[in-house]
Chain A
Amino acid sequence: ETGVTQTPRHLVMGMTNKKSLKCEQHLGHNAMYWYKQSAKKPLELMFVYNFKEQTENNSVPSRFSPECPNSSHLFLHLHTLQPEDSALYLCASSLENTEAFFGQGTRLTVV
């Protein structure tokens, strides 16, 4: 256990569905991240929040919409996804300029 909890662990959704991924940490960290892990590709940083403010959006399609209501919770809202969006979505948190702690991920399958 790293202190970062992601739910659900597995999700299957159709291309017309809307779903949300949830991440929470109670480590006192002030930064939270969403990463996408696809087979045979490096982890891709999607979004960064520092002190609840989004500070980075690495050209992620608008069908992915992050939300950070407080420094302990992070959501990734999904709508009209494509099959190529199937991947493991990892949440991480950190203090400023310290290493990241990762959750166990949500395995997303888009059908």
Chain B
Amino acid sequence: AQSVTQLGSHVSVSEGALVLLRCNYSSSVPPYLFWYVQYPNQGLQLLLKYTSAATLVKGINGFEAEFKKSETSFHLTKPSAHMSDAAEYFCAVSDQGGANNLFFGTGTRLTVIP
């Protein structure tokens, strides 16, 4: 069975500061991992995905995430926060690469302080 834990339901950073959103996963098979972003009153948009290729995955809007098997982690980072990054971020895990068996975390709301 797969599961995801996102540490910190709320994260606040200053504009220009490093963004770090934490995600730990549990999976009995090699996982596929995803980060999605949700802006207010919108659906979910895929930021990036890990599918067993490179462990450092680059996504849209300057975000990246690193898969660390030893730590069962897939933390999301961005070197410099923009005001437009304020949103809710969801980590998700799947055992098949697709959406059929996709398990989401509870989300982290990112606030960017001017």
CB neighbours (8 Å) of A2 from chain B are: 43, 45
Contact assessment for B98 and A42 in the assembled complex, using a CB-CB cutoff below 8 Å: no
Docked CA distance A42–B102 (Å): 11
CB neighbours (8 Å) of B49 from chain A are: 99
Question: A61 to chain B: closest CB distance in Å?
Answer: 21
Contact assessment for A95 and B98 in the assembled complex, using a CB-CB cutoff below 8 Å: yes
**In the complex, chain A residues 86-109 whose Cβ is within 8 Å of any chain B Cβ:** 90, 92, 94-105, 107
The size class of the interface chain B forms with chain A is 20 to 34
Contact assessment for B98 and A48 in the assembled complex, using a CB-CB cutoff below 8 Å: no
Contact assessment for A4 and B43 in the assembled complex, using a CB-CB cutoff below 8 Å: yes
Contact assessment for B44 and A33 in the assembled complex, using a CB-CB cutoff below 8 Å: no
Interface string of B33-58 (1 = CB under 8 A from A): 01010000111111001000000000
Interface string of A1-39 (1 = CB under 8 A from B): 010101001000000000000000000000101000000
Q: How many residues of A contact B (CB 8 A)?
A: 30
CB neighbours (8 Å) of B90 from chain A are: 43
Contact assessment for A56 and B100 in the assembled complex, using a CB-CB cutoff below 8 Å: yes
Within the complex, which residue of A6, A33, A42, A97 is in contact with B97, where a contact is CB–CB below 8 Å? Answer: A97
CB neighbours (8 Å) of A55 from chain B are: 100
Sampled A-B contacts (12; CB under 8 Å): A40-B106, A42-B107, A43-B90, A96-B98, A96-B100, A99-B46, A100-B46, A101-B46, A102-B44, A102-B45, A103-B43, A107-B41
Q: Give the B-binding residues of A (Cβ under 8 A).
A: 2, 4, 6, 9, 31, 33, 40-43, 45, 48, 50, 55-56, 90, 92, 94-105, 107
Q: Give the A-binding residues of B (Cβ under 8 A).
A: 4, 9, 34, 36, 41-46, 49, 90, 96-100, 102-107
Besides A4-B43, A48-B100, 19 more A-B contacts (Cβ < 8 Å) are A2-B45, A31-B98, A31-B100, A42-B105, A42-B107, A43-B44, A55-B100, A92-B99, A95-B98, A96-B100, A97-B96, A99-B98, A100-B44, A100-B46, A100-B98, A101-B46, A102-B36, A102-B43, A104-B43
